[in-house]
Amino acid sequence: MLDDFLVRALLAGIGLALVTGPTGCFIVWRRLAYFGETMAHSALLGVALAIIFNLNLVIGIFSVALLVMLAVLYLERRETLPTDTLLGLISHGGLALGLVILSFFPQMRLNLHALLFGDLLAVSRLDLAVIWVGGILALAVLCWIVRSLLAATISSEIAEVAGLRPERARLIFGILLAAVIAGAIKIVGVLLIVALLIIPAATVRRFSPTPEIMAFAAAVLGTIAVAGGLFASATLDTPSGPSIVVVALILFIVTRVGYLKVR
């Protein structure tokens, strides 16, 4: 019989992977990896905020990730800095600021490792419920905006002339990404969430004839990676986030080599 905590972590991880699959595809298609990284790194600042104001962790992370997204969208227009420089600045600035603030809370130092790399022991029943309810909501929202978002991925001008409101779709996707990052912190942690978003998508790209199949396959692959990684984490006593990412990476390499051989 599996331990209770492992079952909880597993169920939460699967719920998460079902959302990170399709979301990660859009990140790969739209080249938003560094944008996602920036939002994820700011999550530590969200943790600090949650502690100071005594908020729920997920809510703290979600709010700060949202603020960071809006700041990036705004500064991208106003500032003359190249986007990657701007993102690097906010990303590492946010991470550093979060670490400094958290160092004022000695009891958090013990948990820092868990925040950065995930901790499957930490998944509570409430987390599980939040991930599944939030996940179903996230998928529903994604279905709702998928047409505009895909059209905007091809050309935001074509999308706008066709009346599909690409700006709105982009904003909604940003909110969705903030939610995914907040939901992922216990499973994979701040530093590796983007890996869980992009590696499954990159793995299934070559086998997918349509965007929908790619999104579905990425969800399946993400689920396998999460399950495999959590088992490894439980048996080998490795941190859960890195274990999940290593399994995802192995799947990527195996399918890649297999693909080259078949060709």
Partner 1 sequence: MPDPDPSTQNFLINARELGVKRGERWIFRHVNLSVGLGQLVFIIGANGAGKSTCVKTMLGLIQATEGEIEKSSTLVVDYVPQRLTISPNLPLSIRRLITLTKRFSKQEIDTALTTVGLDRLGNPPVTTLSGGEFQRLLLARAMLHRPNLLVLDEPAQGIDAAGTDLVHELIDEVRKDLGCGVLLISHDLERAMDMGDNFAVLIPHEYDEAPATAVVN
Q: How far is the CB of 88 from partner 1 (least distance, A)?
A: 22
- Closer Cβ to partner 1, 153 or 238, answer by number: 153
Q: How far is the CB of 229 from partner 1 (least distance, A)?
A: 24
- Closer Cβ to partner 1, 28 or 244, answer by number: 28
- Closer Cβ to partner 1, 53 or 207, answer by number: 207
Query: What DSSP character marks residue 205?
Result: G
CA–CA separation, 49 vs 55, rounded Å?
8
- Closer Cβ to partner 1, 32 or 185, answer by number: 32
Q: How far is the CB of 97 from partner 1 (least distance, A)?
A: 33
- Closer Cβ to partner 1, 201 or 244, answer by number: 201
- Closer Cβ to partner 1, 75 or 205, answer by number: 205
C-alpha dist (Å) from residue 157 to 54, 69, 77, 218:
44, 22, 17, 28
Question: Position 169: which residue type?
Answer: A
Q: How far is the CB of 217 from partner 1 (least distance, A)?
A: 10
CA–CA separation, 94 vs 34, rounded Å?
14
CA–CA separation, 247 vs 136, rounded Å?
25
Binding site for partner 1 (CB under 8 A): 28-31, 147, 150-151, 153-155, 157-162, 164, 201-202, 205, 208-211, 213-214
Instruction: Give CA torsion, residues 71, 72, 74, 75, to 10 deg.
Output: 110
Residue pair 16/135 in contact by the 8 Å Cβ criterion:
yes
Q: How far is the CB of 16 from partner 1 (least distance, A)?
A: 22
CA–CA separation, 134 vs 66, rounded Å?
16
- CB-hemisphere CA count at 13 Å for 179? 21
CA–CA separation, 256 vs 202, rounded Å?
10
Q: How far is the CB of 173 from partner 1 (least distance, A)?
A: 15
C-alpha dist (Å) from residue 176 to 10, 68, 239:
22, 13, 26
